[in-house]
Structure 1
Amino acid sequence: MPHQPDALMLFAAGFGTRMGALTRTRPKPLIEVAGRTLLDHALDLAQSAGIGRCVVNTHYLADHIAAHLAGRGVAISHEETILDTGGGLRAALPLLGDGPVFTLNTDAVWKGPNPLGHLAAAWDESAMDALLLCLPPAQAIGHAGKGDFMIGEGGRAARGPGLVYSGAQIIRPGALDDMPEGPFSLNLVWDRLIGRGRLHAIAYPGTWCDVGHPGGITLAEEMLGARDV
């Protein structure tokens, strides 16, 4: 029987070096945009989408994130060393369960339909091992570059300029089975799935703002209408 994803992995372990002084004493996921932390913006999406299980990975200033989440029913997967996106997801799988899972970067803010719900509506486990949510560059605020993926026949994804990867996806845990031990990027998984025709992508109809750098805070607040333009 097909499995619908009901667990979310939130990536929150990085050092946030692009944020400069803003992350010297606090982790990037606790930076505020429009009066709420980036982590809380992400958790709001999970709640709105009705996701039953949330896991946050931690490393840098992990105690700050643990204190922020205390009593909120969010599981923490702590990393003694940085495991990158793939290694971090694999380490958290015992907390996430056996079925397909959402993953979401915590350094972005969204405006439009719930991105997790948008992914869930398009998920087809019979055809996909991973489904990426992407945007046209004009809808990716604060992001430079020509894009990461193209969408081909049947929704299959291929590398190339066209759409920007948003940091949101659904992925089957089994897609990580033959990955090397230790840290590794999900890019390695996606490249293998492209070769098998099992990586798919869809376009997000709203807007998204990269808050991985200081200027992204102002851009995100403008996008949300929380700051005068």
Structure 2
Amino acid sequence: MRDQPQAVMLFAAGFGTRMAPLTADRPKPMIPVAGRPLIDHALELVREYGPETIVANVHYKPQTLIDHLQKSNVHIAHETPEILDTGGGLRAALSHLGDGPVFTMNTDAVWSGPNPLQQLASTWDPARMDALLLCLPHDNAIGHDGPGDFIQGDDGRAGRGPGLVYSGLQILKTDILHDIPESAFSLNLAWDRMLAKGRLFATAYTGRWCDVGRPDGIVLAETLLGYGDV
């Protein structure tokens, strides 16, 4: 089993409820930002990093996304008839992803700064870590409301609490997923088990990131990408 991540799971199956009404006729990853679908912004970073395998899951209004990705060397993991949430969706895609740790990445954000996958990989230590979360100081998390998701200890171990904002990008060992009985479940369940063992870690991204989960996030994201000032 490999120790370094060479596969990326792009989460693209959600209903995009916060992005309504723009998701009435398309899945959220196909919402345009700066003239390109959101998922293409994620794919640009992924391809720049150069993993062996890229997988995207689909569920809500999937055909537009499938058509968009059909010539892009991205494997499609269909979630049907029910959506499986992040943990269940990742587990269902393991036949595409293979063994060993994987990146998982949300597709409703844009980034400005160094390649976040590269920065995460440079900090990954499989001997100590079962998951490594890429987080941001609140001032660098544009469009994010709330006090934050995780705190970071002096040794890099993560704990839950206000502080750093989770970016939606991580490296995670997938073997723990097989111990969870539910078919549909959040990766929060896996993180809780890692927290109990002291094997959940966090690191801070050195650039900026914008949440594009709501319609007002589009203008903020386009500004971050150079269409104005944030």
What is the TM-score when the length of structure 1 is the normalising length? 0.97
8 Å Cα contact 1:132/1:169 also seen in 2? yes
| 3-state SS in 2 of match to 1:155 | coil
- Structure 2 match to 1:34: 34
Distance 2:2 2:56 in 1: 26
Q: 1:51 to 1:2 in 2, by over 3 A?
A: closer
Matches within 5 A, 1:16-55: 16-55=16-55
Instruction: Give the equivalent residue in structure 2 for 1:174.
Output: 175
Paired AA for residue 190 in structure 2? V
Per-residue deviation, residues 165-209 of structure 1 (Å, max 9, x unmatched):
000000011121211231000011101100101100000011100
Aligned ranges 1:1-229 → 2 under 5 Å: 3-80=3-80, 81-227=82-228
Partner deviation per Cα, 1:85-110 (whole Å, 9 max, x = no partner)? 00000000110010110000000000
In structure 1, C-alpha distance between the alignment counterparts of 2:28 and 2:94, rounded to whole Å: 23
Runs (5+) with no aligned partner, structure 1: none
The number of aligned residues is 229
Structure 2, unaligned runs of 5 or more: none
Question: Does the 8 Å contact 1:133/1:167 carry over to 2?
Answer: yes
List structure 1 runs of 4+ shifted beyond 4 angstroms.
none
Structure 1 residues 211-220 or 175-184, which shifts more? 175-184
Hey, what's the Cα distance between the residues in 1 that align with 2:151 and 2:7? 27
Shift of 1:2: 5.8
8 Å contact kept, 1:2–1:125: no
> In the aligned structure 1, how far is the partner of 2:49 from the partner of 2:71?
21
Q: Structure 1 residues 188 and 67 mapped into 2: Cα distance closer, same or farther (>3 Å)?
A: same
Deviations along 1:101-126, one digit per CA (max 9) or x if unpaired, are 00000000000011111110001100
Q: 2:152 & 2:20 partners in 1: Cα distance?
A: 35
Question: Residue 184 of structure 2 aligns to a residue in which SS?
Answer: coil
**Alignment CA distance shift 1:228-1:147 (3 Å):** closer
- Over the aligned positions, Cα root-mean-square deviation in angstroms equals 1.2
Change (3 A) 1:228 1:201: closer
Structure 1 Cα separation of the partners of residues 112 and 229 of structure 2: 17
